[in-house]
Amino acid sequence: SKEKNLFITFVLGGPGSGKGTQCAKIVENFGYTHLSAGELLRQEIASNSEDGAVILDMIKEGKIVPSEMTVKLLKKEMESCDNGKFLIDGFPRNEENRIAFEQIIGAEPNSVLFFDCPEEEMIKRVLNRNEGRVDDNIDTIRKRLKVFAASHYPVIEYYSKKGKLYKIDAIGTEDEIFERVRPVFAACKG
């Protein structure tokens, strides 16, 4: 599996900005494998492992899980997958995450999508979701928004300077937003 060509897109944006929704459309249209960091962490909680207990405490508080735990889960998925085209959803959330990925995976993303969404809209969407997530309550949402506001910018700025950042206006219908996403992949930039 080490010889496969890696093609990585990071999909970033605040809570409820539509990362997961747009990733599903990218998978359908462009043959990527979707790895949601949050989903992998929730699976780890469900597995009742030692890490899972730590992760649950952090997710309830909207905090960022230690990088090595998240990168370990991403690495396992990436190694067990024949496809080398990955959408990594909701990661990296801060500079420490970004650096840990580079060091442990030994790769950089080819491109980075950033869904730009106003806070009021993010709150509305998350509260409407109703999937039973332990972090989808107004108290935790406020904490998630604070953590997001305090940590995402350096990551965005880093990839912007490298010419890898695609900032997408995340207001509109799901299909309208996908028409803004499509050109990023249709142009074969990854």
Residues at the site binding ligand UP5, with contacts judged by CB under 6 A: 13, 15-21, 37-38, 41, 58-59, 62-65, 70, 90-91, 93, 97, 125-126, 128-129, 135, 144, 172-174, 177
Asked if 80 and 94 count as a contact pair (C-beta separation under 8 A), the reply is no
Q: How far is the C-alpha of 18 from the C-alpha of 177, rounded, in Å? A: 9
Give the nearest distance from C-beta 131 to ligand UP5 in angstroms: 7
Torsion, CA 84, CA 87, CA 92, CA 97, rounded to 10: -20
Residue nearest to Mg ion (CB): 20
Compare residues 93 and 164 and give the one whose CB is closer to ligand UP5: 93
Q: For residues 140-169, which are near Mg ion according to CB under 5 A?
A: none
Q: Does 20 bind Mg ion (CB under 5 A)?
A: yes
Closer by beta carbon to ligand UP5, 12 or else 111: 12
Most distant CA pair in the chain, distance: 45
In the complex, the smallest distance separating the C-beta of residue 92 from ligand UP5, rounded to whole angstroms, is 7
Given a contact cutoff of 8 angstroms between Cβ atoms, the answer to whether 110 and 3 are in contact is: no
How many other C-beta atoms can be found within 10 angstroms of the C-beta atom of residue 143? 16
Residues that bind Mg ion in the complex, under the rule CB under 5 A: 19-20
